Every structure is written in C-alpha cells, then in structure tokens.
Amino acid sequence: MISNRQKLLLTLLEEWGGVLSNTDMQKYLFLASMYQDKKRRSYHFIPYKFGCFSFNSYSDKRKLIEKNVLKNSEDWELAEGQGGFYFMLTKEDRASIKKLRENFSQVSGKRLIRHIYLHYPYYAINSEILNEVLSEDEIKQINACIPQNDIRAVYTIGYEAKSLEEYINQLIGENIKILFDVRKNPISRKYGFSKKTLQKAINEVGIEYCHLPELGIVSEKRSNLESLEDYNQLFDVYEEEVLKNRLDSLHKLYQSLSEKDRIGLTCFEKSPEYCHRTRVAKAIAKHFCPDMEIINL
C-alpha cells in the first residue's frame, strides 16, 4: 500500500522527470503542501540547514525504497516501471501539482531556494546558506522572523495528534532551550518520537534533550484508565510515591529553568490534564518556585 501523502511526492518525481535532488525535492514538496488546505497538508516542515525540511518525507523515502518504488540512491529517483501516480491523487492534490507546475516548472536550485526564503522567511531562520542566495537587507528580514520569547516558564507539550515537524515548530516558536522527556520508556510507534530520533531532530535546531526516566510512570499502571477521575487517582499516587522521593530530579529541572528561562516537559498525551507532566511542573513550583509560570502547549 502507498499512502496518499506518498502518492503526492511520487507524483512530484514523475512530473519532474523521475529524478530530483534532495534540496529541490524538499522545496517542491513544501510548495505543493502550501497549496493544500492547511488542515489536511500531506507534510509539515521545519526551518533547517537549507530551509524547509520534512523528516517525515525521508521516513517515507526509506519505506518506498523498501517497496522498490524508489531507487536506493542519494537523490530522489523513481524505480524502473513506476508511474501513473498523478491519477491516483485526489482532485485537490492534482490541483496543487498543476499549480506548482504552472508556477515553478522552470525554477530550481538557488532560484527556488531564494523564492521560498523570501516568501516563507520563517523556514530560512536556521539556513546555513543565506549569504549565497540573499542580500544583507534580505537577511535582516529573515532574522526578524526568528521567534522571540522572554517569558520565563515551564512549558508542557504532548506529541499526540502532532507530526514531528509540528511539534518541533512549537518548541522553536516558544524559544524553548531544553526539552525534558519524562516518559519512563521513551519508545513510540509514532514516527519521530522514540528517544534517539527525537533527540537528534531537536538537537539539529539547537534545542537540548534530556531524558528523566525516574519521573515516568510504568505503562502497566496506565493500561486500564478510562475517565479523568481514573487519571487523577493515578497521579495522586504518583505524587506520593514518586515525586516526593525525586526532589533531586525536580531540583535539576528548577536549575535548568533558572539557567535557560524556558524549559519543556514532554510526554505523549495531547491534553495536559491526562498526563503526569502537569504534576511534575506543579511539583517544581511547589518545592522551588511558587510564582513559576506553567504553560501548556
């Protein structure tokens, strides 16, 4: 099976002759995604070394190589005999590809990068090649888009219902300096959120990662929870049996907040009231900083 979003990137390859460089592929895929309705975009992107970048697109690339739909090469290249993807797309996605062809069929390389930097400046804030494609005045416009946040706070964030890129963009947007993973076992079936992958991804955009398994809750204790009352009962026990005995870890979090001004606590659940990360944040405030601000993303 090939997913709808994979069909989009395969159609891009097909429409551009079957082969694209890594940089051009990311830029065309970004523009095609921007043409889609915001609520149903196939891919999301972060500001990276050469501008907009999708980790999920590379995850899909590996899967498509395994299925022999793409060649195992450095660039993006369709395997022999692969094609006809355009007609597999939805009507809306065919319109996105058509619009992209009309506007950018003759634009590639640095011209394409320059266009995206100027029209979507946020995605250029971490670029290593600004001086190669923009003037000094244009670079100032890019720098003006770097998120600014001077609020001193503990931020809590869950990755449920978020892509890796959406998640990272939230961290960047709040200027969070270090992310503390408070899962007992930082393994996830959702792409991007197992420990090594998450750590590498956020390190690449200048955010530190620290795993604090001692502040986690074993999965067995979560298995039969249904109502908010069930969760609160679990978290009450967690406070008594874990947090009261982990003042050293809580103090480490407080020290990081004092040094960095903005730290993140992360776990899976989308709603903070259904996650123990909220109790961790409140415990920091209770023991070390009563006026500390807690912001749930």
* pLDDT digit string, tens, across residues 15-31: 999 999 999 999 999 99
- Model confidence, pTM: 0.95
Assess contact for 115 and 123: CB atoms under 8 A: no
3-state DSSP assignment of residue 182 = coil
Is the pLDDT score of 223 beyond 90? no
Angle, alpha carbons 211-289-262 (nearest 5°): 50
Q: What's the average model confidence in pLDDT over 199-211?
A: 97
- Kindly indicate the confidence band of residue 224, based on its pLDDT and cuts at 50, 70 and 90: confident
Give 256-277 pLDDT, tens digit per residue: 999 999 999 999 999 999 999 9
Nearest Cα to 206, choosing from 59, 56, 46?
A: 46
Adjacency order of strands within the sheet including 293-296: 208-211, 178-181, 262-267, 153-158, 293-296
Residues of the chain with pLDDT > 90, as a percent, come to: 96
- Predicted local confidence at residue 232, as pLDDT: 95
The residues with which 121 forms a beta bridge, in sequence order, are none
Backbone angles phi, psi at 50, to 5 degrees: -120, 25
Lookup: tokens for 61: 């690339």
Is the pLDDT score of 192 beyond 90? yes
Give 71-104 pLDDT, tens digit per residue: 999 999 999 999 999 999 999 999 999 999 999 9
Is the pLDDT score of 222 beyond 90? no
What structural domains and CATH numbers belong to the chain? 4-143 (no CATH), 153-296 (3.40.1010)
3-state helix/strand/coil string of 62-79 = HHHHHCCCECCCCCEEEC
| CA–CA distance, 47 with 171 (Å, rounded to integer) | 12
| CA–CA distance, 296 with 151 (Å, rounded to integer) | 13
For residue 34, what is the enclosing H or E element? helix 22-35
User: What is the radius of gyration, based on Cα positions, of the chain?
Assistant: 22
Is the pLDDT score of 117 beyond 90? yes
| CA–CA distance, 276 with 194 (Å, rounded to integer) | 18
3-state DSSP assignment of residue 110 = helix
Give 33-79 pLDDT, tens digit per residue: 999 999 999 999 999 999 999 999 999 999 999 999 999 999 999 99
Can you spell out the DSSP letters for 116-179? HHHHSGGGGTT-S-HHHHS-HHHHHHHHTTS------EEEEEE-TT--HHHHHHHHHHTT--EE
Cα 258 to Cα 25, 152, 264, 284: the distances in Å are 42, 9, 13, 12
Lookup: tokens for 285: 């405030």
Nearest Cα to 42, choosing from 157, 166, 125, 126?
A: 166
- Predicted local confidence at residue 220, as pLDDT: 86
- Kindly indicate the confidence band of residue 219, based on its pLDDT and cuts at 50, 70 and 90: confident
